[in-house]
Amino acid sequence: MDAFVSYSVENKAMGAIAKASLEAHGFECFLAHDDLQVSEEWKDRILAELRQTDVFVTLLSRAFVSSKWCAQEVGVIVSRPDVLIVPFSLDGTNPYGFISHLQGIRVRDEVHLAVILEEVLFRRRPRLMIPKQIEKMRAAGSFRGAEAVVKPLVPHFAQFSNDEVNAFASAAADNSEVWDAVCADQITFLISFASTGHESRLHRRLISRQSLRILIYHRETPNQLWVQAASMRQYKCWIQHSSKRV
């Protein structure tokens, strides 16, 4: 997955924030002033990056409008209708010219930019974002971290592919931090959703028997009990000795 950040040099700090946010979600991000070596034929490199990018983020500002290079980057990218264009406005500047039909997204500061960018990517490119987010959930090292990683996935449960349903269930069952997280309620929601095959293709048979049994145990065991459990060994022991339920 490739991303391109188009910005004026006057807004370099915000460009760096956009790049860091995209890279945190697994994108290979191109930021001209950071990624071009002095010896490179920079025009050719920029054109090559524009021709292969999947996401094009513009940091609109008065300085952006004044830059002839920014305008040319936009001109190239609109010839590729498959590219997701995300027009951020740093100072109230609206999309113009070839992208005047798009609605600009006003950002207040660096934190707001990162949050809004994540929301846009999940809404517009869920197939790119969901698998990466599930892997983050699998690797979460704290219950608050797990909660933060799961939260963006919740609105997209209905869009999960068969593989994503099983990957989510497996990651939730295997990571004890997810079990301890407040977001455990969302795992219960997925199991309930996946168990009503008449409502969706997300049927419980898509989830492996082992993962489903762990998650059903989590759903049906009072919080006071599983919070006090000494280790995951107790959960696994329950799985091995419980009667067949799924």
Q: Residues 6 or more apart from 20 whose CB is under 8 A from it?
A: 114
Alpha-carbon span 91 to 10, nearest angstrom:
12
Residue corresponding to tokens 């300085």: 63
H or E stretch at 4: strand 2-6
Task: Please state the pTM of the whole predicted model.
Answer: 0.72
Query: Does residue 209 register a pLDDT over 90?
Result: no
Q: Model confidence at 153, in pLDDT bands (50, 70, 90)?
A: confident
What six digits make up the tokens of 5?
A: 């950040």
Q: What is the pLDDT of residues 82-118, one digit of tens each?
A: 999 999 999 999 999 999 999 999 999 989 999 999 9
Q: What is the pLDDT of residues 44-65, one digit of tens each?
A: 889 999 999 999 999 999 999 9
Residue corresponding to tokens 């209905």: 158
Q: Could you tell me the domains of the chain?
A: 2-124 (3.40.50.10140), 126-241 (no CATH)
Residue corresponding to tokens 């936009």: 74
